[in-house]
Amino acid sequence: MWNKKLRFLLVILGLGVVVLAAVVVQAFVLKPASTVALAQLPKGEYDPAVWGKYYPLQYESYQKNREMAPSPTGYGGSVKVQKSLKEPEILINFKGMPFSSDYAEDRGHPYAIEDLKGSKRINSTTVGSCMTCKTANIIDVYQDKGWDYAKLPLAELFLSMKHPVSCANCHDPATMQLSVANPAFIEAMQRGGIDVRKASREQMRSYVCGQCHAEYYFEPQTKRVVFPWDKGFTPEQMYRYYAQKPAGFEQDWLHPDSQARLLKAQHPDFETFSGGVHAKSGVSCAACHMPFMRHNGQKYSSHWVTSPLKHIEASCAVCHRQSADWLQTRVKTIQDHVFELQHTAGQTIARAHTVIGKAASVGKADTAGLDQARELLRKAQWFWDIVAAENSMGFHNPDQVLNTLGRSIDMAHQAIQRANKAAGTQF
């Protein structure tokens, strides 16, 4: 009798210990970044509103991406404004290609499809590759067709583009783990010896952004998206990569005045950030652009992905002890310095296009000399554009960016001198 009672008590006690241990492990060892219950989202569900039913805090903050407000520094911001208003040299430097007719400041993720559709840069010949970084529906399209979709007309693919950049671009619906949807990113990292599927959580907090916020080109035959990273992430390394004419890719266009074969740089936020002090200190894109917030005691990641200066306390004060004012002034000072040199580089390059054009029209001009001038200008423009096309006005990597612009200005002056020497002119 007594034995039975004791055994019963021991069993209860044993069960109690097991339950307690489970609670402790759950709470302290397996503790997720924030406490969210996993929902059963079906594969192929791309509507952020459906995801939002299960993850309301994340969805509400995602909805804020529709807010359009300028940045307090006067750079960036979420208002669609033509960049050429502040930098008219853009109209000369991109003459002969679509960026001279429409080149606006970027805004929030929910606008990605709308802004692509409304862009004057696209027409009936635009290829499907452009869909890659604009919609979560890319996942199905790539699964169905592989890279063959890249050659289809974009107008045809618009029909399957239902949802802009949204939850499934960054999350696996079954586990909610971060995951990269863009195959071009996975391929480029693989060539560099990195298996994205085995990346740490901290790395994924930048990789999910790097899959779209990066420089790329379309392979001439297949139109597939390729990231030019085989030699590294710096402007010089990417320039050397392009110099090899990968898969026959030589240029984006020929400038009508200077006849220089030019490359167009595209938003290299990931590459620029990667060499900067924050990346080197292990700070991810999400740390600044998706900081942790609290709502009724619940911790969650802000999904309002915009200028961190709009919530500087949450974004920066977790690591920096300086006041919000001090930090904002630092950012603005860096950006003012970068903008000044970016503007000078752009204007010097614009002058070089004109000078080479005029020098070439002089009958006796030495063609080899003119070609050297064009090569100098091609590189000068790449060094300017890789900074100008980046979205932080230098903040992501100030020292590299200022170095790049210094070299750009020098090369543009050399191009002008070389052209004048070839033609015996003084333009």
Touching ligand HEC, residues 387-426 (CB under 6 A): 391-393, 395-396, 398
**In degrees rounded to 5, what are phi and psi of residue 164?**
-70, -170
Site membership for ligand HEC, residue 306 (CB under 6 A) = yes
Cα distance between residue 27 and residue 177, in whole Å: 19
In the list 173, 308, 348, 409, the residue contacting ligand HEC (rule: CB under 6 A) is 308
Indicate the residue among 48 and 235 with the shorter CB distance to ligand HEC.
48
Site membership for ligand HEC, residue 277 (CB under 6 A) = yes
In the list 9, 318, 326, 340, the residue contacting ligand HEC (rule: CB under 6 A) is 318
Beta bridge partners of 292: 301
Beta bridge partners of 205: none
Site membership for ligand HEC, residue 285 (CB under 6 A) = yes
Least distance to ligand HEC, CB of residue 131, Å: 10
**In degrees rounded to 5, what are phi and psi of residue 171?**
-125, 145
Q: How many residues bind ligand HEC (CB under 6 A)?
A: 77
In the list 46, 142, 229, 273, the residue contacting ligand HEC (rule: CB under 6 A) is 273
Indicate the residue among 210 and 235 with the shorter CB distance to ligand HEC.
210
End-to-end CA distance of the chain: 111
Instruction: Give the footprint of ligand HEC on residues 21-40 (CB under 6 A).
Output: 33-34, 36
Strand ranges in 155-304 using DSSP code E only, listed in sequence order? 217-218, 225-226, 253-254, 261-262, 292-295, 298-301
Q: Which of 405, 13, 64, 94 is nearest to 258 (CA)?
A: 94
Instruction: Give the footprint of ligand HEC on residues 68-97 (CB under 6 A).
Output: 71, 73, 75-78
Least distance to ligand HEC, CB of residue 14, Å: 35
Q: Which of 62, 223, 198, 202 is nearest to 147 (CA)?
A: 223
Instruction: Give the footprint of ligand HEC on residues 247-266 (CB under 6 A).
Output: none
Distances (CA, A) of 189 to 6, 135, 138, 231, 280: 61, 21, 19, 12, 18
Indicate the residue among 11 and 319 with the shorter CB distance to ligand HEC.
319
In the list 139, 161, 165, 188, the residue contacting ligand HEC (rule: CB under 6 A) is 165
Site membership for ligand HEC, residue 347 (CB under 6 A) = no
Distances (CA, A) of 64 to 55, 225, 389: 15, 30, 25
In the list 64, 261, 330, 358, the residue contacting ligand HEC (rule: CB under 6 A) is 330
Per 3-state DSSP, what percentage of the chain is helix, strand, and coil (rounded to 5)? 55, 5, 40
In the list 163, 224, 278, 378, the residue contacting ligand HEC (rule: CB under 6 A) is 278
In the list 84, 89, 99, 107, the residue contacting ligand HEC (rule: CB under 6 A) is 107
In the list 163, 224, 255, 303, the residue contacting ligand HEC (rule: CB under 6 A) is 303
Site membership for ligand HEC, residue 115 (CB under 6 A) = yes
Max Cα separation, the chain?
A: 117
Instruction: Give the footprint of ligand HEC on residues 197-216 (CB under 6 A).
Output: 201, 205-206, 208-213
Site membership for ligand HEC, residue 228 (CB under 6 A) = no
Least distance to ligand HEC, CB of residue 22, Å: 22
Give the number of other Cβ atoms within 10 Å of residue 104's Cβ: 16
Given a contact cutoff of 8 angstroms between Cβ atoms, the answer to whether 186 and 210 are in contact is: no
